[in-house]
Amino acid sequence: APRPARPEPRPGVLAIDTYVPGKSGRPGGGKVYKLSSNETPLGPSPAALAALHAATAKLETYPDGRATALRTAIARRYGLDPERIVCGAGSDELLSLLAYAYGGPGTEGIYSEHGFLVYRIAILASGGEPVVAPERDLTVDVDAILARVTDRTRIVYVTNPNNPTGTYLPFDEIRRLHAGLPPHVLLVIDGAYAEYVRANDYSAGLELALEAENVVMTRTFSKIHGLAAVRIGWMVAPAHVADAVNRIRGPFNVSGPAIAAGSAAIADEAHMAAAAAHNSEWLPKLTEGARALGLAVTPSVANFLLIHFPDAPGRSAEDADAFLTERGLITRRVTAYGLPNALRVTVAGAEANTAFLAALGDFVRGQH
Ligand code: PMP
């Protein structure tokens, strides 16, 4: 074959659409309320902030490459074996490392229709082929996933609760998914929003990751712990999966300040409880508020909700987004997730939530 005139990425790389984060500002500046990235309005735990600041006193030394203090703190909090925990620079990194370790050329990775876009990026970046399973009622469909398993399938990602829909699979459905997968297929359960869920039939999947040889659960410090800027995620996995990921991760992938902040954050149960309580108060208020304006809202168990708009000029999600942005209310368009007629709205602080409902009311009543 003729050699290219310049380096060419391997097949699949240029098929990746770059991940586009939610907006964080407003054209022309001005006060904004950010309800676009599922961040917590409470911010991080004061203990985590103090630990982060203290850790910046010594920046010239490398951190502990195994993040022992952080793994120990997580293990203590959830009653786990620290050897089965791996930490990453955000759970994004771990989701990618799992695809690099278990996917690759000639393999397929499955995720669901409205699943988190990082799965697709990770599968393609590994050289594998992404396979999309349709959802039912904006909820992960176990049968649709199982129907797409082939001899080439190596990894399956499910987000529970799902982003951007806010829906969840009860634990018996996760078990049914696991039971239907061949034992060599890795099931990755992404529990980025697990701490917010109040439903009795929900479980983040810890038990399955502990008892099965092919299940991993990932979690993040970016959401309820309020440390998105610091980039910390973790996973609990069978020992052989933790070992594989440890072999391919960067040797110092979690920074010293991140290890310090995360260790303090996970121990501050009162702060987490306050964030969860705030969410439980406002999630129904926002849901009912939007419904009272005649808009359909997908029932959510997470810290965000999906609001649907009519596909009509002047009333569409695109128009609502423009109107809200003009008012300094930043929400998330989810067209890239196949949902062009909806906006995803994060449960924010009381002032922002109130301003959002007022502006949404003005939009719906045509006061624009
Ligand atoms: N999984 C899901 C479902 C998410 O929504 C996010 C954040 N957008 C992540 C994982 C990644 O979070 P982080 O890399 O900050 O841990």
Determine if ligand 1 sits within 6 Å of the CB of residue 90: yes
Decide: helix, strand or coil at residue 35. coil
Determine if ligand 1 sits within 6 Å of the CB of residue 192: yes
Residue 218: strand pairing partners: 190, 235
Determine if ligand 1 sits within 6 Å of the CB of residue 39: no
Dihedral (C-alpha) 248, 254, 256, 257: value to the nearest 10 degrees? Answer: 170
Q: What is the ipTM of this complex?
A: 0.98
In terms of Cα–Cα distance, which of 258, 270, 180, 170 is closest to 220?
Answer: 258
Determine if ligand 1 sits within 6 Å of the CB of residue 164: no
Enter the pTM of the model. Answer: 0.96
Q: Over its length of 368 residues, how does the chain's per-residue pLDDT go in tens digits? A: 789 999 999 888 998 999 887 777 776 677 899 999 999 999 999 999 999 999 999 999 999 999 999 999 999 999 999 999 999 999 999 999 999 999 999 999 999 999 999 999 999 999 999 999 999 999 999 999 999 999 999 999 999 999 999 999 999 999 999 999 999 999 999 999 999 999 999 999 999 999 999 999 999 999 999 999 999 999 999 999 999 999 999 999 999 999 999 999 999 999 999 999 999 999 999 999 999 999 999 999 999 999 999 999 999 999 999 999 999 999 999 998 999 999 999 999 999 999 999 999 999 998 66
Rounded to 5 degrees, φ, ψ at 163 are: -120, 130
Alpha carbon of residue 308 to chain centroid:
21
State which of 87, 92, 303 you would mutate to test the pocket of ligand 1, scoring each by most atoms of that ligand within 8 A of its C-beta: 92
**Cβ-contact 303, 346 below 8 angstroms:** yes
